[in-house]
Amino acid sequence: MVKKIALNDNFINLKVAHRGLHSDKVSENSLNAYSLAVEKGFAIEIDIHLLKDGELAVVHDSNLKRLTGFDVVVEDLNSTDLSKYPLLIDGQDIPLFKDVLKLVNGKSPLLIELKVPNKFDHRLVDIMLEQLNDYPYTDKVACQSFNPFAVKYTKEKTDKYSVGFLCSYKLENQSKFRTYILKSLKLYKYMHADFISYDINYLPNKYVDKKRKKGVQVLTWTINTYEKLEKAKTCADNIIFEKIDV
């Protein structure tokens, strides 16, 4: 029996800074962006990718062109390669997951997105959980993913953390049928997910409304305008935001 773990107050009462508190001068998913989020008292959303050498890189995009100017795929790199591809905005290095844990050290809750650009590799979850074994702040960690197999596997591997399903009405590189199955939350029970994290552009909708009526918690992203902020108040339990004052 897979244990249900609701999001605790750390992820409901504290607004979640999308990829840290970044700006035109501070790179997203950088140690400086996380430090600023800690300083301001926000929870932090981060993204992790599996590297060739078994380390975890904290970066949103699989291809680093947008963030670094280099047309390389992060999953093809080793951890020692990351310093060759500094972030364009401020020259910071792409951090490793273990370095983020060391920096944050329980001062802010971490919402960890499991990035699965291709076929799900369970090592992504296994290594994350192994590194979290030395992180005592279990009440300040939650996970989420667009990939239903990643959600299901994580839930079956640990009962320490709340694990959510990320979704939108528009999903890249997915067939219309697969998109429908995912956006309509038909796999929610199969995944054993604890909460939903849904694109604000497609809220409210009947699929999420039905789950909320059953007590399922809902986060929404990405809140980057005050219009979206007002909308989120009526259809979600908390927000993942960027580039606005909340």
Question: According to the model, what pLDDT value does residue 175 have?
Answer: 87
Annotated domain spans of the chain: 9-241
Provide the CATH number for the domain formed by 9-241 in this structure.
Answer: 3.20.20.190
Sequence-ordered strand ranges (E) for the chain = 16-18, 43-50, 56-58, 110-114, 141-145, 162-167, 195-199, 217-223, 238-241
Is the confidence at residue 235, as pLDDT, over 90?
yes
pTM: 0.98
Other C-beta atoms closer than 10 Å to the C-beta of 245 total: 6
Please give the structure tokens belonging to residue 152.
Answer: 């299901």
Tell me the DSSP string of 217-243. EEEEEEE-SHHHHHHHHHH-SEEEE-S
For 10-59, how does the pLDDT look when each residue is reduced to its tens digit (9 = 90+)?
999 999 999 999 999 999 999 999 999 999 999 999 999 999 999 999 99
172 confidence band (pLDDT: 50, 70, 90): confident
**Predicted local confidence at residue 29, as pLDDT:** 99
**If you count them, how many residues does the chain have?**
246
pLDDT at 170: 83
> pLDDT tens for residues 81-131?
999 999 999 999 999 999 999 999 999 999 999 999 989 999 999 999 999
CA-CA-CA-CA dihedral for 222, 226, 230, 235, to nearest 10: -10
Q: Helix, strand, coil % (nearest 5) of the chain? A: 35, 20, 45
